[in-house]
Amino acid sequence: MIVIQSRDNPLVKRVHALSTSGRERRKQGLTVLDGAHLVAAALDAGVGVCQLVVSESGLASEEHQALIARLDRLCPQATLPDKLFAHVSGLDTPSGLLALMATPALGAPVATVAQSVVVLDGVQDAGNLGTLLRTAAAAGIQHAWLTEGCAQAWSPRVLRAGMGAHFLMKVYERVDAVSLLADFPGPVMATVLGARSQSLYAVDLAAPTAWLFGAEGRGLSPALLARATCHVHIPMPGAIESLNVAAAAAICLFEQVRQQG
């Protein structure tokens, strides 16, 4: 393991750029896994990493030591002073260990999936997007279609909020969901407020479903909403107008899990 002390080191500059710039991540085809949990999740899923970086204090962690040993001779490893590690991390609470990995290159998604799919439309908040993917993965969803306006799915903040969900499902970005849904074989479900929508708990969710979730505030785009074959709402007896999109998605997806037994 090499020891790096300077901000001018090429590796330091590279990791900092990848941590803070979506443009740089797209240019290099790489992203940053910040934290032992994410790195371990990637390795457990058979995803390799191309660089490991550990802070000086992070070396004392038994969890970090196990990953260092696991990656011995598999990729270059470097240690940085804590202050320099915080600089390259880009997160408010650096974990003390991070790794670089190649961003997966997926082909175009297929509309005729035999399982449910989540369609995320313009979800720009990294925490919400990561939580949505984590929730979907927990509910057994294996496909996520993200429209053009969504946050970058493989950004460090989305990855951290996803807690390993990215490695359990196929996450497609910049998807033309409006066109794809024209060929989707099952119901296309949108959560909306209004008298014409049905209660979520009165709808049969036995079939594979395309779940549409839009950004808070704006909601679903009109074109995407027009593709929905069923409008549902979540009954809320309290005096609250709406739910956070990630919370609403959790209720919907796990109601389907409940119905499917």
Mean pLDDT by 10 residues, the chain (261 residues): 94 95 94 95 95 96 96 94 93 90 86 88 94 97 94 94 95 94 92 83 95 88 94 88 89 96 85
- What is the structure's pLDDT at 135? 97
Cα–Cα distance list, 249 to 60, 133, 137, 200 (Å) = 39, 10, 12, 11
- What is the structure's pLDDT at 237? 85
Tokens at 222, concatenated: 């009109």
Strands (E) located in 56-116: 77-80, 97-102
C-alpha closest to that of 94 among 68, 51, 61 = 61
Tell me yes or no: is domain 117-260 CATH 3.40.1280.10. yes
H or E element in which residue 157 lies: helix 156-162
- What is the structure's pLDDT at 239? 79
The CA R_g of the chain, rounded to the nearest whole Å, is 20
- What is the structure's pLDDT at 52? 97
Same topology, domains 2-102 and 117-260? Answer is no
Give the span between the Cα atoms of 101 and 251, in whole angstroms. 33
Domain boundaries, the chain: 2-102, 117-260
C-alpha closest to that of 42 among 30, 55, 56 = 30
Cα–Cα distance list, 108 to 103, 146, 232 (Å) = 15, 12, 29
Give the span between the Cα atoms of 261 and 255, in whole angstroms. 10
CB 222: neighbour CB atoms within 10 A?
A: 7
- What is the structure's pLDDT at 195? 63
Q: Which fold has domain 2-102?
A: 60s Ribosomal Protein L30; Chain: A; (3.30.1330)
